[in-house]
Structure 1
Amino acid sequence: MKVLTPDTTVSEGPDRMMVEHHLSIVRLVLPKGFTIKRHRSSMTVTVVAIKGSIQFHTDDDVTTLVPGKAVVMQPGEFHWLEAPDEAGQVMVVHGVLAE
């Protein structure tokens, strides 16, 4: 078992809690007005809101993530995040899913 603890000194951007070849877990801190630019991953991406409110965009949709709400994306799907109205935090898990 691994216990992951957030780096409380991270006030903007990624807190890389675990990074391995086929799995990464990142706490992403977005201050009000902050945007993560459009990008994609070669892995399945799961994003779970843990604090505040985050706008999660894909090329086809926008979803407001609030604590407890999550999105799951397939590899290669473009997405970006922003915190236009208030600061927020999400947990981002990039992984290769077993078949």
Structure 2
Amino acid sequence: MMQVFSSNPEVTEGPDRLFSKKYYSLVRLAIPKGTQIKRHRSMMTVTVVAIKGEIVFHTDDQETTLVPGQAVLMEPLEFHWLEAPNEDGEVMVVHVVKKPTEK
């Protein structure tokens, strides 16, 4: 059955959790200009999709600038952090536990 989730327009900084279950979550993350989401990691696979502004996305080994429509995919436990140096930015973050590969 289809489900529809809406973000909260009053959230202008930090996480806006649209949906969360044990093995899956969907979060809109608002990052005001000049701020940073500190280095962290997740136990789940993480997909980050830029939806507004320029977001500088960092891992311990790489850095890239995301613009709306671009996405990054990370494996569990990979350290990462985000910043919006030039303008307000927003991303959608999907956390998922992948099923083990069947042999």
Common fold by TM > 0.5: yes
Deviations 1:39-72 (A, max 9, x none): 0000000000001110000001101010000000
Identity %: 64
Distance 1:29 1:14 in 2: 6
Q: CA deviation at 1:87?
A: 0.8
Q: Which runs of 5+ in 1 are unaligned?
A: none
Q: CA deviation at 1:2?
A: 1.2
Secondary structure of the structure 1 residue equivalent to 2:86 = coil
- State the superposition RMSD in angstroms: 0.7
Q: How does 1:38-53 map to 2 (within 5 A)?
A: 38-53=39-54
2:91 is aligned with what amino acid?
V
Q: Which runs of 5+ in 2 are unaligned?
A: none
2:87 is aligned with what amino acid?
E
The residue aligned with 2:5 is 4
1:61 paired to 2:66: no
Distance 1:36 1:55 in 2: 10
How many pairs does the alignment contain? 99
Distance 2:43 2:55 in 1: 23
The residue aligned with 1:96 is 97
1:27 paired to 2:28: yes
Distance 1:16 1:34 in 2: 19
1:76 is aligned with what amino acid?
L
2:46 is aligned with what amino acid?
V
Moved over 6 A (4+): none
TM-score normalised according to structure 2 size: 0.94
Larger Rg computed on CA atoms: 2
